[in-house]
Amino acid sequence: MIWSSEDVARDAVRRQGAGMPAKRVAEAVAQAAVRKRETAEDLRCGVRVERGLVASDPERLAEAWAARHIEWRRVQALMEASGWETYEPERDSIGSGWAAEREARREQALAAHAAHQERRREAAEEVRTEVWLPAAPSRLLRQAAARSGLTPQEVLAQLAARLVVDVDGAVSVAPFMPSH
């Protein structure tokens, strides 16, 4: 699952701001404003920023700091309007709503991934084949299928399920009646 720059900013501010006093939130707003300005300038000039061994995409970095600045300003405005001394993420109804939405999307993505993996495992275990039979055996197969109310493919699948291979490699099937 890929989060937008806003999702990443909201999550980061929520975690970093937990228990942060109003003065430190104001400092975070100021720092984010500076970083937003710097990364926007780097983007205009085409500067590639390298952090350690990884070169950052200037456009993504500028988007990330712009989103963080917006989120820090939102938290600051919330704290001022509510009269909070410290930021408490669980009391932030908007931030909590976004966090719940991100978690729901994450759970949905994990469930979809697990279902996809299960389908891949099942597909790896099944064998698909095309069988060309001479006219006489094909006629017998269609008759057996018609009597049992199955398709010829279903009769062949039941036949294959009953295959026995002995130690010498001989393949045999005991007599059976195809059924639903």
In terms of domains, do 9 and 71 share one? yes
Indicate the pLDDT class of residue 101, thresholds 50, 70 and 90. Answer: very high
How many domains are contained in the chain? Answer: 2
Decide if 116 is inside a domain: yes
Q: What is the pLDDT of residues 41-79, one digit of tens each?
A: 888 887 766 655 445 778 888 899 999 999 999 999 999
Residues 96 and 145 in one domain: no
In a domain, 177, yes or no: no
| Closest to 66 measured CA to CA, from 55, 58, 76, 54 | 58
Give the C-alpha separation, 69 to 77, whole Å: 12
Shared domain check, 111 and 79 = yes
Evaluate if residue 35 carries a pLDDT over 80. yes
Q: Is residue 25 part of a domain?
A: yes
Q: Is this model's pTM higher than 0.75 or not?
A: no
**Domain ranges, residue 148:** 135-172
Q: Looking at the structure, do residues 15 and 64 belong to the same domain, yes or no?
A: yes
